[in-house]
Structure formats: structure tokens, C-alpha cells
Amino acid sequence: MTKDVFQLTGPDGTTSELPVRKGTIGPDVVEISKLYREQGVFTYDPGYGATGSCESDITYIDGEKGILMYRGYPVEQLAAKSSFIEVSYLLLNGELPTASELEEFDSTIRRHTMLNEGMLNFFKGFRYDAHPMAMLSAVVGSMSAYYHNAMDASNPEHRSIFSHRILAKLPTIAAAAYKLNIGQPFMYPRNDLNYSENLLQMLFSVPAEPYEIDPVAAEALDLLFILHADHEQNCSTSTVRMAGSSGANPYSAIAAGISALWGPAHGGANEAVLNMLTEIGDAKNISKYVDKAKDKNDPFRLMGFGHRVYKNFDPRATIIREMCHKVLAQLGRQDTPMFDLALQLEEVALKDEYFVEKNLYPNVDFYSGIIYRALGIPTSMFTVMFAIGRCVGWTAHWREMITDPNGRISRPRQLYTGPAARDYVAIDKR
């Protein structure tokens, strides 16, 4: 990396030379680590909107141009030409696999899809109506109680076994949660099926009759997983890095990421979008809800709109919106009132000065639920589907963080605004 410097002169006139580092593409970064030592001040950036937390080779986003690339490959090309299992290999290993590498990786993932049988007992303890994200984070966290024989982050073989286990078993855990919610028996994975086909059969097949996988549904699911696979240092990925930086086992780090993803400001937005569209109900109510979203005194936000990085269209939303047209038609879903309502809501919002001025465009979560719903997946499972796609990104970032020779525990500082020092007051004097 070529170095330049930013000079920063403090109130006492001393000047610090802060090194600038250049990446392959995208904004340079100013290394500020010596600022406190030389100037006695911290930087301050709540929400980390302008703060780089790490160096990464995995994913690049350009928010102004609406660009998203996994290991340099534009997401549009991967969406059109690749598969989720191949994209998973790419994200984990940095290069597209050869045919034999892909075949071996796919075969390894297929053979790790079963759970330790004891883990199924967890589902006997949950209430039938437990939210599947609560079950997913709980059971993934419990994996460190079953697979502790391969959790040494310093051991490359263990890192590899962990990666295969978490990617392969997450859909099985997700499907088990869904089956609990609907009172149906758990369906075991099948090694003769690919990643998305297997999830569909674990979700929708029953012991009482054969289940025929709809190739349109499997293809749509695979494409949605590609689009959700990674997204730079988003909230849940940063959570995985933060948790993993203390040396916590990787299953616990992923469980932390699942919990962060659940929030409606993040991955929980796809569920919130469908709930919002249901509440809007009819196109005649759209302007009322757009006005609510603009009202500073109203906490309501247009779910699925806006993004910390994209100040233009989220490229994933564009692809998913096109998918909606195709998948709904292929599934023979002529009754598409929810999709029609979403399209009308987008049209109204993007003509509204508030949304235009604040660069609020549809994000990945705005249309994805339309497709999940068309595939028969209930709203409560939408964020679980997001987690299944994003798990490979979390895993790739965990591996990158844990193998960083300069890595150390993440521990931000603060601007303290609490009381200055004061003495204890006895209770009878308060």
C-alpha cells in the first residue's frame, strides 16, 4: 500500500502525521491509532458511518454507484451465472473453484447436513410458537456444546471443519424450527439434493407422502442466497468479527451475528416489510404511510427503504424486483396484490421529495419477502432465510479476522458524558 499522510494539528499546536492507506479500489483510510498517544483525543463516529474497522479482501460496495462485488466478481454476474454453493466456495477461499474443487466442496457440505441427534431435543423444549430466529440463535450457540472437538481457531483443519459444519447444518436447524412452529415432524436432510433443494424438502415435505421439488422455487432460493451471501462490514458481520476477536468459539460468534441480524433495522426488515405491506393493505393507503414515514414525530419508517451505504439503488433490490416478475409468473401466481402494492409504494416513495433528498431507495429487504411468500415460506421465517444466505459471509469474515497477523480484540472507546467524581452518600442522607 502506498502511503501519504494527513496532518492534524492539535489545540496546543503539535502536529500529528496520520498515515493514509490505499486499498485496491474505494476510499483511502487514515490510520488514527496514534492520535490518542500524540494528541490525547479519541475519534468519534457513532454507528461507525465513516470508520473502517478492518482491512478485508472479501466484498466491495460502492454506495454511490450501487456496486456490490464478492472477491471482485460483480454480484450481477454471479447471480446470472453461478450457484450459491459455488459463491460460498468463492467467499471462503477467494477464488472460483475448478470443477473438481466445486464437486468436492459440494459433496463435503452435503455430508455435513445432519445434526447431532441430541440437538433435536432442544426443539422439544421450545414453545410451539417460538420465533424461529430465537430458536436459530439458541441452537447455533449450542453447537459449541456438541462440536467442541474442532473449535481451535488457530488450527486450519478446525477452521475448515467449522466452516463446513455451520454452512451445512444451518438450513437443517432452520427447517427444524419451522417444523416445530407448524407441528409437523422434523424431516432429515437428503444428500442426493443440492443446497436449496434440500432446504425446500426439509421445510415442506412430510413423511406421509412423496414431495416433488419445484425447480423454479429451488432456483429462486439459490439466487436469493447468492444475493444475501455477504455485504462488507454490516452490523451482523461486524458483530461476528467483534465476538470472534475475543477468541470466543466460532459457533458463539455466528450466534451473535444471528442475533444482530434479527433487528428490524437490519435483517429483520424483510419480515417488517411484509407486515408493513399487510398493514397498508391497499394502494389508497400508501400516501398515508409515506407521510407517517416522513413525520419526525412518528417512529414509523418505510421498512425496506434506505441504507447506510447505498445512496442509490441497492443492486440486490433491482435483481430481486426483476425476479419477482419472473418467479411469480413461473409459479403461476396471478394473484400478486402484495407485489403490486410494493411496486406502487416504491413508485410513490421515489417520487417524493423527502425520499429523493435523503437518497432512500428500496434495499435488499424490500422485495425479498414477496418471493419467500410466493414459495410458501411464512413471514416469521424471512430473516432466517437471510441468515442462511449470510452465514457464509459471516464465516468468511470470521476466518479473515482470526487469521489476521495484526488481529487483536476489538475494544472501542467513548466520549464520557456522565457525572464527574463524587463521594458516596449514606442512605439516610439522600
Radius of gyration for the alpha carbons in the chain, expressed in angstroms and rounded: 23
Active site residue 365: yes
Q: Is there binding between residue 293 and ligand SDX (CB under 6 A)?
A: yes
Judged by CB under 6 A, the residue of 306, 315, 369, 389 near ligand SDX is 306
**DSSP SS3 for 325:** helix
Q: How far apart are CA 205 and CA 178, in angstroms?
A: 12
Q: Is 5 left (phi over 0), alpha (psi -120 to 50) or beta?
A: beta
Nearest one of 251, 352, 238 to 305, comparing CA atoms = 352
Q: Is there binding between residue 292 and ligand SDX (CB under 6 A)?
A: no
Instruction: Compare residues 139 and 269 and give the one whose CB is closer to ligand SDX.
Output: 269
- Which helix H or strand E contains 107, and what residues bound it? helix 99-110
CB of 165 to ligand SDX, least distance (A): 23
Map residues 248-267 to x or -, x wherever contact with ligand SDX holds by CB under 6 A.
-----------------xxx
Question: Residue 206: what are its φ and ψ, rounded to 5°?
Answer: -135, 155
Instruction: Compare residues 47 and 207 and give the one whose CB is closer to ligand SDX.
Output: 47
Q: How far apart are CA 220 and CA 200, in angstroms?
A: 11
Going by their DSSP bridges, the two strands 29-30 and 59-62 should be labelled as unpaired
Strand order in the sheet with 15-21: 3-9, 15-21, 29-30
Q: Is there binding between residue 364 and ligand SDX (CB under 6 A)?
A: yes
Instruction: Compare residues 187 and 349 and give the one whose CB is closer to ligand SDX.
Output: 349
Q: Is there binding between residue 346 and ligand SDX (CB under 6 A)?
A: no
Q: Would you report the helix, strand and coil content of the chain in percent, each value rounded to 5?
A: 55, 5, 40
CB of 177 to ligand SDX, least distance (A): 21
Q: Is there binding between residue 71 and ligand SDX (CB under 6 A)?
A: no
Instruction: Compare residues 351 and 358 and give the one whose CB is closer to ligand SDX.
Output: 358
Instruction: Compare residues 111 and 358 and give the one whose CB is closer to ligand SDX.
Output: 358
Q: How far apart are CA 79 and CA 113, in angstroms?
A: 24
Q: Which residue number places its CB atom closest to ligand SDX?
A: 306
Judged by CB under 6 A, the residue of 79, 136, 223, 360 near ligand SDX is 360
What is the number of other CB atoms lying within 10 angstroms of the CB of residue 135?
A: 23
Q: How far apart are CA 139 and CA 160, in angstroms?
A: 20
Q: Is there binding between residue 363 and ligand SDX (CB under 6 A)?
A: yes
Judged by CB under 6 A, the residue of 21, 158, 301, 311 near ligand SDX is 301
CB of 307 to ligand SDX, least distance (A): 5
C-alpha cell at 130: 417460538
Question: Residue 205: what are its φ and ψ, rounded to 5°?
Answer: -85, 160
Q: Which of residues 14-53 bind ligand SDX (CB under 6 A)?
A: 47
Q: Which of residues 158-217 bind ligand SDX (CB under 6 A)?
A: none
Q: Is there binding between residue 241 and ligand SDX (CB under 6 A)?
A: no
Residue range at the interface with ligand SDX (CB under 6 A); choices 52-60, 97-105, 146-154, 295-303: 295-303
| Count of residues in contact with ligand SDX, rule CB under 6 A | 23
C-alpha cell at 274: 411484509
C-alpha cell at 326: 419472473
Going by their DSSP bridges, the two strands 73-74 and 67-70 should be labelled as antiparallel
User: Which residues face 159 on adjacent strands?
Assistant: none
Q: How far apart are CA 97 and CA 323, in angstroms?
A: 26
**DSSP SS3 for 209:** strand
Judged by CB under 6 A, the residue of 8, 16, 213, 308 near ligand SDX is 308
- The catalytic residue among 307, 314, 352, 397 is 307
Map residues 93-132 to x or -, x wherever contact with ligand SDX holds by CB under 6 A.
----------------------------------------
Q: Is there binding between residue 88 and ligand SDX (CB under 6 A)?
A: no
Judged by CB under 6 A, the residue of 139, 199, 303, 374 near ligand SDX is 303
Q: How far apart are CA 327 and CA 333, in angstroms?
A: 8
CB of 256 to ligand SDX, least distance (A): 15
**Cβ–Cβ under 8 Å, residues 63 and 234:** no
Judged by CB under 6 A, the residue of 159, 231, 373, 399 near ligand SDX is 231
Question: Residues in the site for ligand SDX, rule: CB under 6 A?
Answer: 47, 231, 234-235, 265-267, 269, 293, 301-309, 358, 360, 363-365
Residues acting as catalytic residues = 307, 365
